[in-house]
Amino acid sequence: MSVSTLALNDGSQVPWMAFGTGTALYRKDAEDAIRLAIDNGFTHLDGAQVYANEDSMGQGIVASGKSRSELFITTKLTALKPGATPKSALEESLKKLKVDYVDLYLIHQANDHVGKLKEVWKGMEEAQKAGLTKSIGVSNFTADHLNDILEIATVPPAVNQASCRESYDGVEAHPYVWKALQANLAIHKQYKIVTSSYGGLSPIFRAQGGPLDPVVEKIRVRLETTRGSPVSDGQVLNKWLQQNGVLVVTTSSKAERIREYLDTQNVPELTADELALIETAGGQLHKRFFVSSDLNG
């Protein structure tokens, strides 16, 4: 099964759904999880230096038997050690991941580099120029953080990803924060920065009984009837994210759930009215789920 992709502003293509190695795999052996994900169709693997599992992630990649060109690998820069640069930090990650380059390298958290964001972004551009990463971007950046680096950027960020390592003013993308995200989305649109979301299914898994529930159920029934085979609540929300051009990062330890996530691209498209209905219902409740105490994302 070929995976749908999103176009990045540097000309590259990124698979629209990634398998994440934070959350349940934070500081744990990720080899079996990576193999399970690849065996069941994932080609985009999302890691980070702070997850402390790049070594086992690399072992899973090697054990999968997939060629490097078949995979899209993301990692993220954590706080720099004295004397280190984004380039030298990525060189360490590449050794652990057992690859010559990554496809996407992100600054994980602006708060790791207070007062040094411009300098760090220049270092990201240097890593890209050296061929260690095809694309560069950021994670959990507010509109202010983006504007800060865009003042000096030769290369604008290709992606701004939300993750569980979330601050109250960072990026978290799902219907219950969509209205609050508009300042970010306006900059993303201007510079063609892809919005990436972790925890996009939070409204149905972490806020049951909210205004979104009956809307999702109504759409799910319609999609299931149109498709002639089962459609889950999660697929409805993931389809909404996909049609909004959002790169989804997800995870599971169950092969059946992994296949369900990837099968979202085969679910019929939501109508314009259904897309709007989800946005309107989401706007009735402002709810964030990941805050700065959740340091595993």
- Mark the binding-site residues, compressed into ranges: 108
Q: How many helices (H) and strands (E) does the chain have?
A: 11, 10
Cα distances (Å, whole numbers) of residue 210 to 85, 213, 214, 244, 278: 45, 6, 8, 21, 12
Angle at 77 between CA 74 and CA 83, to 5 degrees: 140
H or E element: which one contains 252? none
Torsion of CA 139, 140, 145, 151, to 10 degrees: 20
**Three-state secondary-structure class, residue 2:** coil
Q: Which of 4, 11, 197, 2 is nearest to 103 (CA)?
A: 11
Q: Which residues are annotated as a binding site for substrate?
A: 108
List 51, 176, 198, 261, catalytic entry: 51
Amino acid at site 169: D
Amino acid at site 91: E
Query: Catalytic annotation on 51?
Result: yes
Residue with tokens 């306006």: 186
Helix locations, 65-105, DSSP H: 86-97
Rounded CA gap, 251 and 200, in Å? 11
Rounded CA gap, 113 and 57, in Å? 26
Which of the residues are catalytic? 51
